[in-house]
Amino acid sequence: MTTRMEALRESLDEAHRSAPKFEAGVARAHGFGTRALEEFKDSKVWLKVDSNGKYDLNLAANEYMGDGHTLDKHVGKTDEQLAQRLRDQQSNGPTQAWPHGKPMPSGSSAFPNYQRAEELTERNLNTNKAAIESWIKGPPPASDGDVKSFYDTAPSGETSGRSVSKQPVDPSDPLSGYKQGGLNAKAYDVTGVDTRIRYDSSRNPPFTVMTSMPSKS
């Protein structure tokens, strides 16, 4: 029995590492539920402009529009799962310089829960409302499928989420980045928000949130 369990240790560790947190499950449930309600009609709830001219975001309704994946990739992840994503999205396998393989993304990050993801993403859209409208109008005007990133920071004294960096955050600490730390890489609190919107002329306002994630400020 002991030998059999030892043989299964790696698979069991991976299954344990991959198990979703409650917060991740809730976020995905928001996405699935909204999709079930909206899939057979043109969604009217993904984004509105309120009486004060501010964006009113329903993040869940954006999850399945234009490759939306905020809730699936960037909400409720453990520190290990952030490192796991860098392991699973690589451009090259292990080398002497990159003993754990070289990830394609520069980092992996997650909001703590659905409410925080929606709150900070909506805040980012409203902080950058003038810049978004300028991008849409041009010149040159945005075309269907165009993607643009907009950045903001969490309110003073607050964090936006956790992040594992591809490169070391602290040059004196090899475990501060995936490059040397691999799945043991340290995660850090961050305060920035990176929201990427996709232009869609068939909608009003004419864009959807493709993804939103915590980032370095």
| Weakest mean pLDDT among 24-33, 110-119, 141-150 | 24-33
Identity at 160, one-letter amino acid code: S
User: Is the pLDDT confidence value at 12 over 70?
Assistant: no
| Weakest mean pLDDT among 44-58, 96-110, 162-176 | 44-58
For residue 215, list its beta bridge partners. Answer: 192
Measured on CA atoms in the order 31, 34, 35, 36, is the torsion positive or negative? positive
Q: What is the pLDDT of residue 41?
A: 58
CA distance 57 to 119: 8
> Tens digit of pLDDT for each residue in 187-198?
999 999 999 999
User: Is the pLDDT confidence value at 99 over 60?
Assistant: yes
> Tens digit of pLDDT for each residue in 37-65?
666 555 567 899 999 999 999 999 999 88
Q: Structural domain of residue 105, as residue ranges?
A: 2-215
> And the tokens for 198?
């996709």
Q: For the chain, give the longest Cα–Cα distance.
A: 69
User: Is the pLDDT confidence value at 1 over 60?
Assistant: no
Total domains present in the chain: 1
User: Is the pLDDT confidence value at 66 over 80?
Assistant: no
Instruction: Provide, rounded to the nearest whole percent, the portion of the chain with pLDDT above 70.
Output: 88
Q: pTM of the predicted model, to two decimals?
A: 0.88
Q: What is the pLDDT of residue 179?
A: 97
Q: What is the pLDDT of residue 156?
A: 97
